Amino acid sequence: MKHSSPSPLNGSALALLTARMEGIARKMANTLHRTGRSGILTIARDFSCVVLTAKHELLATAESLPIHVLRGPDIMAKTMSDNHPVLKRGDAFLHNSPYHGCTHPADHSILIPVIDDEGIHRFTVLAKAHQADCGNALPTTYMGAAKDVYAEGALIFPAVKIQDNYEHVMDIIRMCQLRIRVPEQWWGDYLATLGAARVGEREILALGKEIGWEKLEAYTQQWFDYSERRMIDVIRAMPKGRVTRKSTHDAFPATPSDGVTITATVEVKPEEALIEVDMTDNPDSMENGLNLSEACALSAPMLAIFNSIDHTVPKNEGSFRRIKIHLKDGSIAGRPRHPTSCSAATTNIADRVANPVQAALAELADGLGLAETGALLPPSCGVVSGVHHGKPFVNEVYLGCTGGAGAPMADGWLTILHAGNAGMCYQDSIEVDELRHPIFVHQRRLIPNSEGAGRFRGALGAYSEFAPVDCDMTVAYISDGNVNPALGTRGGLAGGNSAQFRMHADGSLEPLAACAEVVIAADERMVSISAGGGGYGAPYEREAYRVAHDVREGWVSRERAESIYGVALYDDMSVDENRTAQLRRQ
Amino acid sequence: MGLRFAIDTGGTFTDLMVSSETGVLSMHKASTTPKDPVAGVLDSLRMAADASHESLQAYLARGELLMHGTTHAINAIVTGSTARTAFITTAGHPDTLVIREGGRMEPFNFTIAYPEPYVPRALTYEVPERMTVNGLAKMPLDEAAVLQILEQIKAAKVEAIGVCFLWSVVNPSHELAVGALIERHLPGIPYTLSHKINPSIREYRRAISTCIDASLKPIMGAYMRGLETRLREAGFNGRVLVVTSQGGVMDAAHAAEAPVHLINSGPSMAPVAAKAYGEAGDTDTLIVGDTGGTTFDVSLVHRGRIPRSRETWLGQPFRSHMTGMPSVDVKSIGAGGGSIAWVDAGGLLHVGPISAGAVPGPVCYRRGGTRPTVTDAAVALGFIDAKFFLGGKMSLDQQGAMDAIKRDVADPLKCDVETAAEAIMALATEHMVQAIMDITVNQGIDPSEATFVAGGGAAGLNCVAIARRLGCRRVLVTEAGAALSASGALISDLSAHYQAMFHTLSETFDQAGVNRVLQTLSDECADFAKNAGAGTAATQIDWSCEARYIEQAWEIEVPLRKGTFENARDAAVLVEDFHQMHQDKFAVSDPHAPIETVTWNAEVRCRIGSNELGRLAPDQRAEALPSRPVRYVGAGWVDSKVYRFEAIRSGVTIHGPAIIESDFTSIVIEPGAIAVRDRMGNLVIDVTEGAR
């Protein structure tokens, strides 16, 4: 094969270079995970690493948090190029502006342009890391009640140069150190994030030298074409249809009293091989921290689409060509205008966007889509802070948050956390938390009968009960789902609601507001209930042996098995086939 | 000294290495017999006896030691044949094994079910009791409740019990009390206490170690008794030892009492062998790749030490359970000779992770396989001699291999069969390279400073290609590399690992407290050396401490220079060593920040074998084999020189392109690479020449 084929790269060269590019993104992520300083990076793994082309097209994402990476990195890279027309090797940029492509201000991102020996900008690498603190007015990175960006208080960096010729711009560093709580921790996390991006830069420079920049560029376009072809095939096989679904976020400060209803209209057009999502029929921005950034407004419906189809379709600019998301300027689920606050953009409303989109796709055909995922952010993954024997402490904990949605072929993944996270974050060890902070965890357990029943059921909710040790403790949280549960789809039922209480010394429970910073005294306990996931398909279609297993394990009561699933059991917990058939006929 | 045997039971083959009374080695491979693995062990011994023209009885009577690496423990877990096990936990925390530590792979893949807990929730029992972080009983143990639970456990026909309470590592009294109650009320039921089997923090990891251990006790006890009995019956009167996940060996009877140590028995020996044979080279950092039929195992030797990890998964990461035990860090991916190649609807080539396994196997094996594999590609390219596979014991279907490649890969890619075969090899190589880079970046190793040690039957096909992609200068294939793990077991030490938790800060270093902990560990090591290690040649204790910067979440393991802290200077040295280790692993350190210690480890090693690495018996056959057509990347078809590995004399230089074959493997020396046999019998391949 000495003659050149019409296409410069065949399927094997494409596969090889893809393994190399994904390897680079993964190496960045491994570096960040192992070198980060704060718990949120090293325990929870709340970060993402991606590679983009010089034209700001998303190329490789390793295994990142979906809400972080699908859309947004492209806008951030473009902002970098627009604001800095001359990019040089050795530059690095700090970016957290939700008005310029970043998810929310707590996600500090480092962008590095990869510049070849001729000075040509070839690729951009991006490492994004959720900060333990970003200098907000309150010690939390989710300011649900902030009226605007001024009330949030975080410094906003719209692609600001933080390294020049591989040297830190100390002015910027000093500004951060004066605004961000626990500045040594921030500095450690900044170095880790920068280091990860530099690893990506170094690897791509070596790859370009080895392969040749032109060939690498040809690769990126062919990889996008391949990914687009895969997406076309998938959409062509889907049924044509248009579904509108709504999902309502509970009432929070500065929302209407009946909450925020999000409307998503999903249209699958097989003949055009296109999926469109119309998000324009939604309320205007509100004077709180729930508003979406453009990145989240675009990524949330997209992640719901990719959750709903063949998972082997690559997620990049190529497959994205077959998705159109329509947004409205100045909408809570659209493009925000400065100074609208987007403090909690990655979780609450974003989930209320992703959930109806994936549930709508399920309505189009059996085997597609997902039910709704449980809502975030209950006190069990809130930010705890206080002063213990004169020493201040602050950290986000992960003491039990579940919520996985029922799927066409599997029950909800237990530790999914929320739709945008996809279960990528870790859950805390109780012993590690008790060692690191003055807290005592009385209970952490799953809640029976809190699953959204279905042919494939949602995950159970989690109950946790924790208290400060010898001090007061502030718990900041923004718990959606107290009123509006995760709904099922295709006949599946809703998951259990979330709730939160103060347990007084006498054991009595006092209900608490859903969006709050509460002070728990030394003789009190914080009680947190996280939401269950919605079910997929009617509960009567659930295979009886699965129901029997759930009953044996204590996840579902015998009464519920009969009344909701139509499955009767003998006393030895085996299925009573006759009575089950009878129940299911009714 | 009598005969020493090392037997590694793998998925496909049971490898046996024998060291004679004079230190001469021999290598044998028998088929693994999954239903009765001891039969495969005896088969391999029979082959060795035949080769030595003796009866098995007489041959085994000369035996002194037998070291056994076994997959029996992990297989029992995978096939669900472990004991019916109960989990006793602290009240309020019944879902430790259900919730695990979170995390997930493939964020958009919702077709995979969340794993069931290792012990069913129905067999999980909450005991009213609670220790605090300081070891104070915030809630005393409710013994009456325990007795009721033991009644329920009895009624549930439970066969083993795991007990793990929060903070039992700080104060084990509640676990000990429950252990005593089990002995009194359920005599004969095997049980495991978490603070004994895995005294470290993080309740999930401790609980899972405990439950795995308990669940394996009945089956591994039976296996070890069966092994010993049948070896005795066959004539062996020596000592029977098994390989542990930590890269040592322990007495079979002892291992049966703590079988969680056997999860990674076998793969843990690859770096032990690599270290022993590679130590004479010019680097003390080795990347070890062990390629079998279905998996590619990567491990490391970093600056002369074999790194350990507590994150060993029973199956796929996040979709299974961790062992939670410190083990030799081995990363395994689904890539090997059996990996299947195909082209998807969009025109993209894939190789693995689906594998044809041993059955039906590659197309060329003629065992019913129809989809082309990496081995088929190697046959198509002439890397493997279709007529002389496994020393001529098996002839391969080259045409069948080529037809399958044409149909499934070449035609969809619109290229010829040879190009397609090269593409399959290249992609398989890249997957292995990526697996290696994941583990090296996590350990802070620059592959260009390491030597690549290639072991396993399929390693030679692409070891030069892997080394070149990684930027390594050198590849090492040991003389017995086709049975790398068995050759490691042959020279391994009798060892035991003891650990204890003790938390102290560098700023207020509690020297007396640390010394008390180290003294306890030292006493345990001395006991071991006195009992299990009686009569061994030399005893050594490797000390280490797991520590971290104060805000950090994960500890790193730092070797201690000695087993006691005599003054403030000793503590300062530990802190300096920590910063250095952190710098090595992560390329950053924070030299002014204080550190905190979490766990203290002592590994006692007693030398049971000889210090000399043996050599295979000299081979009298001719060095040169008939040449044959082989297709090399960048060189096309070449009438290639072929050499017999066993017959190459030390110091002889072989220039690529060339194939070096043994009875067990085929090593591709690509153009530009230069191979030489060293004094130890290793094949050392310099892969850089071609690049210059």
- Taking contacts as CB-CB distances below 8 angstroms, the residues of chain A near B122 are 552-554
Residue range A149-166: mean pLDDT, rounded: 97
The pLDDT of residue A8 is 63
Residue A3 has pLDDT above 60, yes or no: no
pLDDT in tens, A507-523: 999 999 999 999 999 99
The pLDDT of residue A2 is 36
SS3 for B553-613, per residue?
CCCEEEECCCCCCCCHHHHHHHHHHHHHHHHHHHCCCCCCCCEEEEEEEEEEEECCCCCCC
Domain range for residue A437?
Answer: 370-542
The pLDDT of residue B665 is 87
**Contact check, Cβ <8 Å, B551/A38:** yes
Record the tokens describing residue B434, joined without a space: 């990526």
User: CA of A428 to nearest chain B CA: how many angstroms apart?
Assistant: 7
**Contact check, Cβ <8 Å, B166/A431:** yes
Q: How many CA atoms lie within 13 A of A212 on its CB side?
A: 5
- Taking contacts as CB-CB distances below 8 angstroms, the residues of chain B near A273 are none
Distance from C-alpha of B683 to C-alpha of B188, rounded to nearest angstrom: 53
**Of the candidates A11, A409, A426, which has its C-beta nearest B103's C-beta?**
A426
Dihedral in degrees, nearest 10, Cα atoms A285, A418, A541, B97: -160
Q: Report the b/e string of B413-448 with b at 16+ CB within 10 A.
A: bebebbbbbbbbbbbbbbbbbbbbbbbbbbbbbebe
Determine which of A10, A460, A489 to mutate to test the interface with B (most B C-beta atoms within 10 Å).
A10
**Contact check, Cβ <8 Å, A465/B92:** yes
Number of structural domains (chain A) is: 2
Strands B137-139 and B130-131: antiparallel
**Could you tell me if A129 lies within 8 Å of chain B, comparing CB atoms?**
no
- Taking contacts as CB-CB distances below 8 angstroms, the residues of chain A near B590 are 188
**Could you tell me if A8 lies within 8 Å of chain B, comparing CB atoms?**
no
**Could you tell me if A415 lies within 8 Å of chain B, comparing CB atoms?**
yes
Q: Establish if A343 belongs to a structural domain.
A: no
Q: CA of A422: which chain B residue's CA is closest?
A: B107
User: CA of A79 to nearest chain B CA: how many angstroms apart?
Assistant: 28
Residue range B636-658: mean pLDDT, rounded: 93
Between the CA of residue B268 and those of B17, B211, B341, B489, what are the distances in Å? 16, 22, 29, 9
User: CA of B113 to nearest chain A CA: how many angstroms apart?
Assistant: 5
Closest C-alpha among A473, A412, A147 to residue A288: A147
Domain boundary among the residues A224, A245, A265 is at A224
**Could you tell me if A32 lies within 8 Å of chain B, comparing CB atoms?**
no
**Could you tell me if A311 lies within 8 Å of chain B, comparing CB atoms?**
yes
**Could you tell me if A572 lies within 8 Å of chain B, comparing CB atoms?**
no
User: Which residue reads 């700080």 in tokens?
Assistant: B170
Distance from C-alpha of A343 to C-alpha of A136, rounded to nearest angstrom: 9
Record the tokens describing residue B405, joined without a space: 């490649």
**Contact check, Cβ <8 Å, B108/A440:** no
Q: Establish if A321 belongs to a structural domain.
A: no
Distance from C-alpha of B119 to C-alpha of B160, rounded to nearest angstrom: 11
**B353 cis-preceded (ω within 30 degrees of 0):** yes
User: CA of A25 to nearest chain B CA: how many angstroms apart?
Assistant: 11
Q: Establish if A327 belongs to a structural domain.
A: no
Torsion sign over Cα A176, A179, A183, A188? negative
The pLDDT of residue A387 is 93
Angle at B65 between CA B64 and CA B66, to 5 degrees: 135
**Does the interface ipTM go beyond 0.85?**
yes
Share of residues in chain A with pLDDT > 90 (%): 89
Residue B245 has pLDDT above 50, yes or no: yes
Per the CB < 8 A criterion, the answer to whether B504 and B514 are in contact is yes
- Taking contacts as CB-CB distances below 8 angstroms, the residues of chain B near A184 are 593
Ramachandran angles phi, psi of A383, nearest 5°: -100, 120
Longest dimension (CA), chain A: 85
Residue B502 has pLDDT above 50, yes or no: yes
Q: CA of B99: which chain A residue's CA is closest?
A: A415
- Taking contacts as CB-CB distances below 8 angstroms, the residues of chain A near B100 are 415, 427
Weakest mean pLDDT among A537-546, A572-581, B231-240, B663-672: B663-672
- Taking contacts as CB-CB distances below 8 angstroms, the residues of chain A near B586 are 31, 34-35
pLDDT in tens, B322-345: 999 989 999 888 888 889 999 998
**Contact check, Cβ <8 Å, A410/B345:** no
Residue A242 has pLDDT above 50, yes or no: yes
The pLDDT of residue B97 is 98
Record the tokens describing residue A445, joined without a space: 């357990």
Instruction: Check residue A297 and give left, alpha or beta (phi > 0: left; psi -120 to 50: alpha).
Output: alpha
- Taking contacts as CB-CB distances below 8 angstroms, the residues of chain B near A307 are 108, 110
Strand partners, A247: A262
**Contact check, Cβ <8 Å, B100/A415:** yes
Distance from C-alpha of A6 to C-alpha of A70, rounded to nearest angstrom: 32
**Contact check, Cβ <8 Å, A43/B430:** no
The pLDDT of residue B283 is 84
Ramachandran angles phi, psi of A106, nearest 5°: -75, -15
Residue range A17-46: mean pLDDT, rounded: 86
Residue B292: band (very low, low, confident or very high) from pLDDT cuts 50, 70, 90: confident
User: CA of A51 to nearest chain B CA: how many angstroms apart?
Assistant: 17
The pLDDT of residue B35 is 85
- Taking contacts as CB-CB distances below 8 angstroms, the residues of chain B near A470 are none
Q: Is the pTM of this model over 0.80?
A: yes
Q: Establish if A497 belongs to a structural domain.
A: yes
Domain boundary among the residues A205, A224, A243 is at A224
- Taking contacts as CB-CB distances below 8 angstroms, the residues of chain A near B107 are 63-66, 422-424
Q: CA of B425: which chain A residue's CA is closest?
A: A12
Distance from C-alpha of B585 to C-alpha of B206, rounded to nearest angstrom: 25
- Taking contacts as CB-CB distances below 8 angstroms, the residues of chain A near B419 are 1
Residue A426 has pLDDT above 60, yes or no: yes
Going along chain B from its start, the domains and CATH numbers come out as: 105-212 (no CATH), 339-427 (no CATH), 494-606 (3.30.1490)
The pLDDT of residue B610 is 67
Q: Establish if A460 belongs to a structural domain.
A: yes
Residue B396: band (very low, low, confident or very high) from pLDDT cuts 50, 70, 90: very high
**Could you tell me if A67 lies within 8 Å of chain B, comparing CB atoms?**
no
pLDDT in tens, B64-121: 999 999 989 998 998 899 999 999 999 999 999 999 999 999 999 999 999 999 999 9
Collapse the DSSP code of B683 into the 3-class scheme (helix H, G, I; strand E, B; otherwise coil) and give the result: strand
Closest C-alpha among A87, A129, A130, A95 to residue A111: A95
Residue A43: CB partners within 8 Å, gap ≥ 6?
A: A398, A426, A428, A432, B553
pLDDT in tens, B146-202: 999 999 999 999 999 999 999 999 999 999 999 999 999 999 999 999 999 999 999
Closest C-alpha among A569, A563, A554 to residue A584: A563
**Contact check, Cβ <8 Å, B415/A1:** yes
Residue B630 has pLDDT above 90, yes or no: yes
The pLDDT of residue B690 is 53
- Taking contacts as CB-CB distances below 8 angstroms, the residues of chain A near B415 are 1, 5, 10
B139 burial class (0-12, 13-18, 19+ CB within 10 angstroms)? middle
Residue B523 has pLDDT above 80, yes or no: yes
Between the CA of residue A551 and those of A492, A561, A562, A564, B119, what are the distances in Å? 18, 7, 11, 13, 16
What's chain A's average pLDDT? 95
Q: How many residue pairs bridge chain A and chain B with CB atoms within 8 Å of each other?
A: 217
User: CA of A76 to nearest chain B CA: how many angstroms apart?
Assistant: 23
Per the CB < 8 A criterion, the answer to whether B216 and B73 are in contact is yes
DSSP A165: T
pLDDT in tens, A266-287: 999 999 999 999 999 999 999 9
Q: Quote the crossing angle between the two packed helices B568-586 and B511-530, to the nearest 10°.
A: 80
Distance from C-alpha of B67 to C-alpha of B251, rounded to nearest angstrom: 9
Closest C-alpha among B382, B385, B383, B380 to residue B415: B380
Per the CB < 8 A criterion, the answer to whether A160 and A153 are in contact is no
Q: Quote the crossing angle between the two packed helices A348-364 and A294-308, to the nearest 10°.
A: 30
Residue B610: CB partners within 8 Å, gap ≥ 6?
A: B1, B19, B23
Q: Establish if A260 belongs to a structural domain.
A: no
Per the CB < 8 A criterion, the answer to whether B564 and B545 are in contact is no
Torsion sign over Cα A250, A451, A44, B106? negative
pLDDT in tens, A522-570: 999 999 999 999 999 999 999 999 999 999 999 999 999 999 999 999 9
Closest C-alpha among B305, B566, B576, B597 to residue B444: B305
**Could you tell me if A210 lies within 8 Å of chain B, comparing CB atoms?**
no
Q: Establish if A344 belongs to a structural domain.
A: no
